[in-house]
A = this chain, B = another copy of it.
Amino acid sequence: MKFGGTSLATTKLIETAAARVADIHHEGHELLVVVSAMGGVTNQLVGYVEEITQHHDLMEYDSVISAGEQISSGLMAIALQNLGVPARSWQCWQIPFRANSVHKNAEIQHIDTTAIVANLAKQRTVAVCSGFQGLTEENRIATLGRSGSDTSAVALACAFQADECIIYTDVDGIYTADPRVVDDAHPLKRISYEEMLELSYLGAKVIHNRAVSLAMAYNLPLWVRSSFGDERGTVITTGDNEMEGEIVRGVTCSQEEAKVVLSGIQDQPGRVASVFTPLATAGINVDMIVQNATQQETTEVTFTIPLNDVVRCKEILNNLRENIGFHDLVIDKNVSKISVVGIGMRSHSGVAAKAFQTLAELGINIQAIATSEIKITVLIDRKFSELAVRSLHSRYELEKAG
């Protein structure tokens, strides 16, 4: 059972979440709880770091912000004990829950189950694990990237061979589109791992894409459920025949990325690698790479990066201007990434054309296009975001999706 920050924003809410855990415990199940930081705490800690400097040591950054989970895990353990449920908190270094040293964006490496298993055996003591954090080889804390607690939860569920993993959050499932934007958007009962991967990665904001990939690899049923209501929510699981009938499952919109255009790059082998290797080393998540040959001798590369990496990205690329040999670097923070996702579309033609048509009819200029087997993504001016999502949702008749 994993609880996100909004489900733990106050001690009252922590007690509510603890009551849910107590119910499951009293049904006789053995369980692990994974917690994010109390809502707002991580942002506050990031704020402190950035008040001092934008160019911070990522090891120290991780040490500071992972404290949020240490707080919430202890409070959850206390709240459980207060309900008569044996519980104890576990930090990454106590488990140990190991990750690599890519600070701020670390990958999980190995979870030692010995200590927790021994503890679970005592009166089914509930293990309350701090999400988001991993212990590196250098004995320091690395964080798994924002929303990494979902990944922690799935990784723990897999390591302990759990029957299922339930992500409690502030929405009651995976929606066909953002319900704040589209009136008749509604939660799906089930969705395949692959579709969810695309939805999550592209801004559905409900669950971290790494969590979904990991669940898929271990075939772990992953529930997304509201911590505020009694609905069962959406289960993310393997695709089935029932799903085949549907073409498009959802429309998403991400406004948290900036568009980077590098132009005047010599069109030679290795040039593109010289752009993306240093960004990868710096832990900047590059997405939606599109390369256009605009002139004969030079080429242009367009890609997106998270908004909060803009300063670092600019610095890295400008320092490498001579190495890469580009002419212009233009960063546009005012873009939206709109995506249409559905497993069905791989066997149906015309899905992409319908999207372009819809946008054209609205007079929305498409700045870049990327397509895969199960999604179509376009980059547009941010001010058209809602209009685009609403029109696509309606065009694909998503109000009828199950």
Contacts from A to B (Cβ < 8 Å): 11-12, 14-15, 45, 48-49, 51-53, 55-57, 59-61, 63-64, 66-68, 70-71, 73-75, 77-79, 81-82, 88-89, 91, 93-94, 139-140
**A52 & B88 in contact (Cβ 8 Å cutoff):** no
Q: Among the listed B52, B77, B93, which residue makes an inter-chain contact with A82, where contact means beta carbons less than 8 Å apart?
A: B52
**Quick one: which of A61, A70, A93 has the most chain B CB within 10 A?**
A70
**B71 & A45 in contact (Cβ 8 Å cutoff):** yes
Q: Among the listed B45, B57, B64, B71, which residue makes an inter-chain contact with A64, where contact means beta carbons less than 8 Å apart?
A: B71
Q: Among the listed B52, B57, B77, which residue makes an inter-chain contact with A60, where contact means beta carbons less than 8 Å apart?
A: B77
- Complex: A73 Cα to B66 Cα, angstroms: 13
Chain B residue numbers with a CB within 8 Å of A55 are 82
- Complex: A349 Cα to B75 Cα, angstroms: 54
Given the interface contacts A57-B81, A70-B70, A140-B94, does A49 sit within 8 Å of B75 by beta carbon?
Answer: yes
Given the interface contacts A60-B89, A70-B70, does A11 sit within 8 Å of B52 by beta carbon?
Answer: yes
**A78 & B61 in contact (Cβ 8 Å cutoff):** yes
**B71 & A56 in contact (Cβ 8 Å cutoff):** no
- Complex: A111 Cα to B49 Cα, angstroms: 29
Closest 8 CB pairs of A and B: A64-B74, A11-B51, A67-B67, A63-B74, A67-B70, A60-B74, A53-B82, A60-B77
A97 to chain B, nearest CB (A): 13
Chain B residue numbers with a CB within 8 Å of A91 are 63
Chain B residue numbers with a CB within 8 Å of A48 are 11, 71, 75
Chain B residue numbers with a CB within 8 Å of A52 are 11, 14-15, 75, 78-79, 82
Given the interface contacts A67-B67, A93-B93, A94-B139, does A61 sit within 8 Å of B45 by beta carbon?
Answer: no
- Complex: A53 Cα to B51 Cα, angstroms: 34
A367 to chain B, nearest CB (A): 37
Given A49-B75, A49-B78, A63-B73, 17 new contacts (CB under 8 A): A11-B48, A11-B51, A48-B75, A52-B79, A52-B82, A53-B78, A57-B77, A57-B78, A60-B74, A60-B88, A60-B89, A61-B74, A63-B77, A64-B70, A64-B74, A93-B93, A94-B140
In the complex, 12 of the A-B residue pairs with CB atoms within 8 angstroms, ordered by the A residue number, are: A11-B52, A53-B81, A56-B81, A56-B82, A57-B77, A57-B78, A60-B81, A60-B88, A63-B73, A63-B74, A63-B89, A94-B139
- Complex: A88 Cα to B47 Cα, angstroms: 20
Please give me the residue from chain B that is nearest to A73 by CB atom.
Answer: B63
Chain B residue numbers with a CB within 8 Å of A12 are 51
- Complex: A51 Cα to B140 Cα, angstroms: 31
- Complex: A378 Cα to B52 Cα, angstroms: 48
Please give me the residue from chain B that is nearest to A68 by CB atom.
Answer: B67
Please give me the residue from chain B that is nearest to A10 by CB atom.
Answer: B51
**B88 & A59 in contact (Cβ 8 Å cutoff):** yes
A86 to chain B, nearest CB (A): 10
Chain B residue numbers with a CB within 8 Å of A53 are 78-79, 81-82
- Complex: A139 Cα to B70 Cα, angstroms: 15
- Complex: A61 Cα to B57 Cα, angstroms: 29
A53 to chain B, nearest CB (A): 4
A99 to chain B, nearest CB (A): 16
- Complex: A101 Cα to B94 Cα, angstroms: 16
A253 to chain B, nearest CB (A): 34
Chain B residue numbers with a CB within 8 Å of A67 are 67-68, 70-71, 74
